[in-house]
Amino acid sequence: MKNIALIGVGYVGLVSGASFADLGNKVTCVDINEERIANLNRGIMPIFEPGLEELTRRNVGAGRLIFTTSYEEALKDADYVFIAVGTPSDVDGQADLRYVRMAAESIADTMDHYLIIVNKSTVPVGTGDWVAEIMRSRRPDVPDFDVVSCPEFLREGSAITDFMNPDRVILGSTNRDAAESVAHLHLPLRTTLMITDLRTAEMVKYASNAFLAAKISFINEIANICEALGADVKEVAYGMGLDNRIGPAFLDAGLGWGGSCFPKDVKALASMAEVESRHPHLLHAVMDINRDQRHAPIRKVEAFLGRDLRGKVIGILGLAFKPNTDDMRDAPSIDIIRNLQRRGAIVRAYDPVAAAKAAEILDDVEMAKSAYELAEGADALILVTEWNEFKNLDLARIHTSMAQPVLIDGRNVYDPGKARDLGFQYTGIGRGYEGRGVPHPLDETETH
Ligand code: NAD
């Protein structure tokens, strides 16, 4: 059993802390947010993540997982200190490292023995060295320490499964022994452990996220071309994904990526390149395509209801940036709703989990209690987040209750043929054959 201090109890920190505790370590999580810690000590979760409440409860009960606001308490017997604080974008698109700096200074102020400091936050290349400098300048007589970069790749919505079954663990350090020590902590995960230098490890995270964002923007660009040329992007993606060199993941055309990671990480990587006088043309294209994609449902609503949306009631199915999370950070729904409101539309929304968080961000959006309530009297529905419960809605009931049966399927969840047979004026993303009146053989069989 190792003693781990974990700084920052957000999506990454809480999942990592509870998971490391479940692997038999003693984990003390520290956060500057007193309310968050007080709630956690009462068993109240600060975020929605499947399985997290039960995992946390079990490990708190076993005495392996502790929540505190005290760095002294967290660092007292620690072998490792994991940093998992937020690194949002600043106004220039660079990563804002103020929380990492605060955490590094607090560690330097508090530590009284050798520690391995493991950075899990996504941080610009060079931050590991910078953390060491900050600590040494903050406290010239700081005890010895090493810094290891261990970027996190979990996804919200499947965070615990991802943490426990990673495709790989990347470790970077100037001291190989320190990196190997952190590698040991991950042995129970039975995965590929890659040890490299600090900067390379930091870069692996940005390059991975930028590549995944690029894959989504790529298929969305293909979707737009499919619409113009009368091809079906779902079939195109399926056909592409059968190629081992491409693979099927991240080829779902839709309303683009959002959330707390891709937008800020692609922006930060582009900024890093520009500071070094490199011109990241591809990264800019990836971001531009994603921004444009959020206009797609507006164009589609206008195609059915006309350009004057004043007074039209539009229902938004799904608000979170993706299913199985309540995270609203940079969710496509925000831009889509504000755009509709600017055009005078009356916007209602329903999300199974994120409605409360969304209500803090969005003005004048009436939150419905169900998809069926949302549909009543609506002139159009736009599916923005593909929650499972939307996949099996009683579409006939929805159709009957709407004022106008316009259904914009922003995530290609529904079968176009069946939706039209029910009487919907339906459109998805990139399903160009729809407009040609040609029945599609796979609509009936849904072979994949
Ligand atoms: P978050 O905003 O959910 O949580 C951050 C937590 O850190 C907050 O509770 C905050 O109060 C706390 N904090 C800030 N400064 C502190 C300090 N000085 N001392 C103690 N606590 C402090 O953030 P997140 O989504 O968990 O992301 C954390 C990092 O992990 C980011 O760099 C992010 O890019 C990266 N990451 C996130 C995900 C994800 O899916 N959310 C996935 C992989 C990597």
Give the CATH number for residue 255.
1.10.1040.10
Q: Does 167 lie in the same domain as 72?
A: yes
Alpha carbons 269 and 214: distance in angstroms, whole number: 13
Nearest to 194 by CA among 169, 227, 167, 176: 169
For a ligand 1 pocket test, name from 6, 7, 9, 12 the mutation site with the most ligand atoms within 8 angstroms of its C-beta: 12
Tens digits of residue pLDDT in 215-246: 999 999 999 999 999 999 999 999 999 999 99
* CATH code where residue 355 lies: 3.40.50.720
Which range is least confidently modeled, 24-33, 88-97, 344-353? Answer: 88-97
Q: Does 373 lie in the same domain as 341?
A: yes
**Inter-axis angle of helices 198-229 and 233-241, to 10 degrees?**
140
Q: Does 180 lie in the same domain as 51?
A: yes
Nearest to 253 by CA among 266, 267, 235, 265: 235
Atom from ligand 1 closest to the CA of residue 33: 11
Question: Quick check: is 101 in a domain?
Answer: yes
Alpha carbons 442 and 448: distance in angstroms, whole number: 9
Q: Does 244 lie in the same domain as 148?
A: no
| CB 409 near ligand 1, within 6 Å | no
Contact 411, 203 (CB under 8 A): no
Alpha carbons 445 and 294: distance in angstroms, whole number: 30
What is the residue range of 235's domain?
206-291
Q: Does 155 lie in the same domain as 32?
A: yes
Query: Has residue 327 got a pLDDT over 60?
Result: yes
Distance 12 CA to ligand 1 centre (A): 6
Q: How confident is the model at residue 436 (pLDDT cuts 50, 70, 90)?
A: very low
- 227: which 2 tokens? 């619409």
Distance 373 CA to ligand 1 centre (A): 35
Distance 85 CA to ligand 1 centre (A): 3
Question: Quick check: is 306 in a domain?
Answer: yes
Burial of 90 (0-12, 13-18, 19+ CB in 10 A): middle
Tens digits of residue pLDDT in 378-410: 999 999 999 999 999 999 999 999 999 999 999
- 23: which 2 tokens? 């692997």
Question: pLDDT value at position 446?
Answer: 43
Residue whose CA is at the smallest distance from ligand 1 atom 2? 86
* Range 406-420 average pLDDT: 96
Residue whose CA is at the smallest distance from ligand 1 atom 29? 121
Distance 402 CA to ligand 1 centre (A): 41
Give the number of other Cβ atoms within 10 Å of residue 38's Cβ: 12
Question: Catalytic amino acids?
Answer: 261
Atom from ligand 1 closest to the CA of residue 153: 43
Contact 285, 138 (CB under 8 A): no
Question: Quick check: is 114 in a domain?
Answer: yes
Query: Has residue 208 got a pLDDT over 60?
Result: yes
* Range 427-447 average pLDDT: 61
Give the number of other Cβ atoms within 10 Å of residue 239's Cβ: 11
Question: pLDDT value at position 189?
Answer: 98
Question: Quick check: is 25 in a domain?
Answer: yes
CA 218 and chain centroid, separation? 18
Nearest to 419 by CA among 430, 406, 437: 406
Q: Which residue has the tokens 């091809």?
A: 231
Q: How confident is the model at residue 432 (pLDDT cuts 50, 70, 90)?
A: confident
Which of 258, 273, 291 is the C-terminal boundary of a domain? 291
Contact 3, 185 (CB under 8 A): no
| CB 86 near ligand 1, within 6 Å | yes
Percentage above 70 pLDDT, the chain: 96
| Mean pLDDT, rounded, of the chain | 95
Atom from ligand 1 closest to the CA of residue 9: 9
For a ligand 1 pocket test, name from 6, 11, 102, 267 the mutation site with the most ligand atoms within 8 angstroms of its C-beta: 11
Q: Does 234 lie in the same domain as 356?
A: no
DSSP string of 13-48, one letter each residue: HHHHHHHHHHTT-EEEEE-S-HHHHHHHHTT--SS-
Query: Has residue 33 got a pLDDT over 80?
Result: yes
Tens digits of residue pLDDT in 250-300: 999 999 999 999 999 999 999 999 999 999 999 999 999 999 999 999 999
Question: Quick check: is 440 in a domain?
Answer: no
Query: Has residue 27 got a pLDDT over 50?
Result: yes
Which of 196, 223, 240 is the C-terminal boundary of a domain? 196
Distance 86 CA to ligand 1 centre (A): 3
Domain count for the chain: 3
| CB 103 near ligand 1, within 6 Å | yes
pTM over 0.85: yes
Atom from ligand 1 closest to the CA of residue 47: 3
Q: Does 220 lie in the same domain as 125?
A: no
Residues 6 or more apart whose CB falls under 8 angstroms from that of 23 comprise 188, 189
* Range 426-437 average pLDDT: 77
Q: How far apart, in Å, are the Cα atoms of 92 and each of 103, 131, 262, 265, 335?
A: 23, 21, 16, 13, 20
Q: Does 13 lie in the same domain as 101?
A: yes
Distance 4 CA to ligand 1 centre (A): 17
Residue 119: which region, alpha, beta or left (left: phi > 0; alpha: psi -120 to 50)? beta
Nearest to 64 by CA among 38, 25, 37, 30: 25
Question: pLDDT value at position 434?
Answer: 59
Question: Quick check: is 432 in a domain?
Answer: no
Nearest to 430 by CA among 196, 193, 237: 237
Q: Does 225 lie in the same domain as 79?
A: no
> How, if at all, do strands 346-350 and 313-317 pair?
parallel
Residues 6 or more apart whose CB falls under 8 angstroms from that of 91 comprise none
For a ligand 1 pocket test, name from 31, 81, 123 the mutation site with the most ligand atoms within 8 angstroms of its C-beta: 31
Q: Does 163 lie in the same domain as 24?
A: yes
Question: Quick check: is 30 in a domain?
Answer: yes
Which of 141, 165, 196 is the C-terminal boundary of a domain? 196
Q: Does 142 lie in the same domain as 46?
A: yes
Contact 391, 323 (CB under 8 A): no
Residue whose CA is at the smallest distance from ligand 1 atom 44? 152
| CB 95 near ligand 1, within 6 Å | no
| CB 325 near ligand 1, within 6 Å | no
Question: Quick check: is 201 in a domain?
Answer: no
Beta bridge partners, 315, equal 348, 381
Q: Does 248 lie in the same domain as 157?
A: no
Distance 313 CA to ligand 1 centre (A): 37
Contact 169, 138 (CB under 8 A): no
Backbone angles phi, psi at 279, to 5 degrees: -115, 100
Residues 6 or more apart whose CB falls under 8 angstroms from that of 314 comprise 301, 340, 345, 346, 347, 348, 378, 379, 380, 381, 382
| CB 32 near ligand 1, within 6 Å | yes
Beta bridge partners, 145, equal 115
